[in-house]
Amino acid sequence: MKMNSAQIERTLEQLEAEVIPESNPVVPQLNRMFGNHTYFLDQSGLNIVEPAEPDHEDVRSGVVVNVANWTGAGSSLAPHDPEKTGLVVRL
């Protein structure tokens, strides 16, 4: 999912990661590979957030999904099938 600035800020409060800015030249390639998302880099690799079902209080949240892991010395990423991380962020 593509996030607005408020959603990105709330996500970064709950996830120790960096957001890849839309102006980064790698974003068009990521969009071709994984779809139109906001991308986050953390110690495990490249992540996106997919919408989750609203909870009983009707709070919007998202599931963090890992789409690429760091390889070797952490200098490159290896894409793989999307894997839910189990982390849910409130949006």
Tell me the pLDDT tens digit for each residue of 28-55.
Answer: 999 999 999 999 999 999 999 999 987 6
3-state helix, strand, coil split of the chain in percent (to 5) is 20, 40, 40
Residues 6+ apart with CB under 8 A from 2: 36, 37, 38
Residue 20, token pair as written in the block = 């890849």
Q: Does residue 11 surpass a pLDDT of 90?
A: yes
Confidence at 58, pLDDT banded by 50, 70, 90: confident
Q: What is the reported pTM? A: 0.91
Handedness of CA 42, 44, 11, 32 (dihedral sign): positive
H runs (alpha helix) in the chain? 5-14, 27-34
What is the mean pLDDT of the segment spanning 58-62?
Answer: 85
**Is there a contact between 60 and 54 (Cβ–Cβ < 8 Å)?**
yes
